[in-house]
Amino acid sequence: MTTFRDLFSGHAADYERYRPRYPDALFTWLAGVAPARDVAWDVGTGSGQAAVALAEHFARVIATDPSTAQLAHAQPHPRVSYRTGSAEEPDLEPASVDLATVAQAFHWFDAPRFFTAAARVLRPRGVLALITYRSSRVSPDVDPIERDFYVNVIGADWPAERRLVEEGYASVVFPPPFRDIATPSLELTADWTFEEFIGYVSTWSAVHQHRKRTGVDPLEPFARRVHATWPMGEVRTVRWELKLRVARRD
């Protein structure tokens, strides 16, 4: 039995508020490669960002997450059904899902058990999409500050699972009956103020772990360094490269 490591419930409201939104082009493409647009399953849905976007393309979206705190902040939508549940043991009928998406959550799963579950609930030619993104890009004056913070200040506080995110899930091997399909190049963007950018960084699990481990808040000195180059109220475009691993169930 997999032990659920809940690293986000303590700041679920901030997670919903400050995490970037996925581009519409992502869900348009996923809907286009799915065999039908009846049912999508958003796994590890968190606050439901991907689930609500999927609902624009699918008749019904089942969004599951083991964290009740995250689901309490999920965005309501008439075609989205939120359920508490694990990725490895979904309460779904066999061959009932056209598309399964995992947005920024696969690295927390027991991968062999999840792949078995996904193969069971996906219809023939159904699609499984693993979606992740890494560090942001803002500007030449902000990016080195963020990288130094990420690596040298809180680097020891990232969980081991973060390695999969850093590599863009490149080492993930889809087992039979899945086979990889080619994916487009996409990115997330957000037009943010300094305050919103710091709010985003505040949701990082390593920031919270650093506070617990050391009793010191690493965010305040980081915010001061960024603020020296990014004035209050100034809007800048923040970018993240999306990494996709997508497979079809044969």
- 227 occurs within a structural domain: no
- Dist. CA 218–CA 198, nearest whole Å: 12
Tokens matching residue 203: 């949701």
CATH number for the domain harbouring residue 99: 3.40.50.150
- 29 occurs within a structural domain: yes
pLDDT at 4: 38
- Dist. CA 22–CA 53, nearest whole Å: 8
- 143 occurs within a structural domain: no
Residue 50, CA distances (Å) to 63, 98, 108, 157 in order: 9, 15, 17, 27
pLDDT at 14: 62
Determine which helix (DSSP H) or strand (DSSP E) holds 60, and give its type and residue range: strand 60-65
Domain count across the chain: 1
- 219 occurs within a structural domain: no
pLDDT at 19: 82
pLDDT at 135: 85
- Dist. CA 118–CA 141, nearest whole Å: 43
- 131 occurs within a structural domain: yes
Low-confidence ranges of the chain (pLDDT < 50): 1-12
Residue 176 contacts residue 124 (beta carbons within 8 Å):
no
- 147 occurs within a structural domain: no
pTM for this model (two decimals): 0.90
Q: Which domain holds residue 103?
A: 9-135+159-187+240-249
- 36 occurs within a structural domain: yes
pLDDT at 15: 55
CA angle 87, 22, 100 (to 5 degrees): 30
- 180 occurs within a structural domain: yes
